[in-house]
Structures are given as C-alpha cells and as structure tokens.
Amino acid sequence: MVRSVALHDIDWGNIAAQERWYYRSHGPEIARRFGPWLLRLESYLPVAPPAGGPAVGFLNWRMTDSYWRELPAPGAQGNLSFTLPPAPARVAACFVPAQPTEDFCGGEFQPDEKSALRWCMLFRYPAATSLEEGERWFLDVHAKEVMRQPGLYRFFSYRAIQTPIELPGTWPPGFQGRSFGAWARYSELWYENFDEWQRSVLDSTLPYTPPPWSASGRYPFFEPYVDLVSSFLLERPNDEFLRDARGYL
C-alpha cells in the first residue's frame, strides 16, 4: 500500500469554476474509475495563514490525500480522458509509504485534548546537495531542534518514494499541467492555532543549525516555491469521495 499527497495552487479568479469542476467532474471520475484500487480518497481545503504564507511557500487550493491498495496501470486503460479543468493548477505531489517513516513526537495525545492546525509541507534538498547529505541534516540535527518549538505538539514525516510512479488516467492531448517537480519528504507539524504557529515559526528566536546550502541561515532553510511548498489543513477532510454520494447541485 502507498499514499499519494498532492498540494494545489490556483489563481483565485478561477476558484468558482475550479470548485465546480472538481465536484462535478474530477472527484467523481477518480472515485468511479479507480475506486477498486483505492482505500481512501479525501480532499481538504487549506486555511490561509494570517501572515507569513509566502515565506513558507503556501499553496492555496486543495490537498488531495489517497491511499492505494495497489496502483492500476498508467494510461487510459479503457477509459476516456479526464474532463479538463477551467484552468491548470500548479501541483506539488509525491508518493510516500502508507505510514510515516519517522514519528518524532506527540503520539501520546488523545484526539480531544488539542485542536489541530496541520502545517503540511513538501520539501527537497537543493540540486547540489545529495539526498543522503540532506537526510543526515534533517534527521540527526534539524528534526531534534524543531521539536523545541514552544507551540508544536505533533511532528511526523515521510521519506518520499524516489522511484518514479505514474498516476493512472490520461488527459486530453495538448493539456499541460504545471508541476513543481520531485520531492524528498512530506512532513506534518501540528499546532493548536495560528497564534501558536506564528509564535513557534515566525516570531521564534530559537537557534537552529543551518544546513550547508543555506545562505541566509533562516528557518525553514528552503527556498519557498522552489524547494519548499506547504498548506495548512484542519483535522477532517472536506470531502471523502469514496463515501460521499452528493450531486453537485
């Protein structure tokens, strides 16, 4: 079993048409065609941070979260192409194992003890840095320092599957999606609210050990929208397409 996560970004002028397409066409197409291979197909609408979004590569539209029993063969495979969206989204996506490769802290909390504002991020190490070198810094140094943030109470991470995996389905000829490229990790850091996130991330004076590639020495050490993208999600998905049977109107 593997998990796929995809963070999306759109021009806000297209939001009404994009949401209509997602509910009326794309979600049902994915659920109908690939339901036999899927265990879960969920989607979240991000909440916008009050400040600091550009500094952490905030992506403003849906995060889709899918758990696959196995992956169907790529390509059309007897289906028609997907219905085109009104405008292409910018997409950051990866496949990860079904469970985190590292669970750093917070697993002892009960669900009712704290509310959850989930800072979900994808990052990769700069081109001149090997995956092994980047991982040594992240696991042996950085993750331990992050756990000192005053408002952070849950932190886990997935090492992305590096072997290329093709998604099933096909788009009409000539359609050009926009991808941010490949990623090294998907991580989640949980806070009770944006005040705690800002206190821990934007306003914090905690000392961090910068990686060798960081010119600024400023947390979170990755260039936003290049080597780092992120979204802020709440606890429950807005949609569970394998369970919901709602028409659009």
Q: Answer whether residue 247 is part of any domain.
A: no
Residue 131 belongs to a domain with what CATH number? Answer: 3.30.70.100
Distance, in Å, from the CA atom of 18 to the CA atom of 13, rounded to the nearest integer, reads: 9
For residue 9, the cross-strand partners are: 90
DSSP string computed for 211-245: -TT-SS--TT-S-BTTTEEEEEE-SS-SEETTT--
Q: Answer whether residue 245 is part of any domain.
A: no
Amino acid 218 reads R
CB atoms closer than 10 angstroms to residue 141: 14
What does the pLDDT read at residue 82? 96
Distance, in Å, from the CA atom of 30 to the CA atom of 32, rounded to the nearest integer, reads: 6
Q: Answer whether residue 246 is part of any domain.
A: no
Q: Answer whether residue 213 is part of any domain.
A: yes
> Residue 64's closest CA among 167, 159, 181?
167
Q: Answer whether residue 46 is part of any domain.
A: yes
Q: Answer whether residue 47 is part of any domain.
A: yes
Q: Answer whether residue 31 is part of any domain.
A: yes
Q: Answer whether residue 248 is part of any domain.
A: no
Does residue 40 sit in helix, strand or coil?
strand
Distance, in Å, from the CA atom of 162 to the CA atom of 182, rounded to the nearest integer, reads: 8
What H or E segment, with its residue span, contains residue 133? helix 131-137
- Count of domains forming the chain: 1
Rg over alpha carbons for the chain, rounded to the nearest Å, is 18
The pLDDT profile of the chain, 249 residues, written as one tens digit per residue, is 999 999 999 999 999 999 999 999 999 999 999 999 999 999 999 999 988 899 999 999 999 999 999 999 999 999 999 999 999 999 999 999 999 999 999 999 999 999 999 999 999 999 899 999 999 999 999 999 999 999 999 999 999 999 989 889 999 998 988 889 899 999 999 999 999 999 999 999 999 999 988 877 789 999 999 999 999 999 999 999 998 766 555
> 18: domain range?
2-240
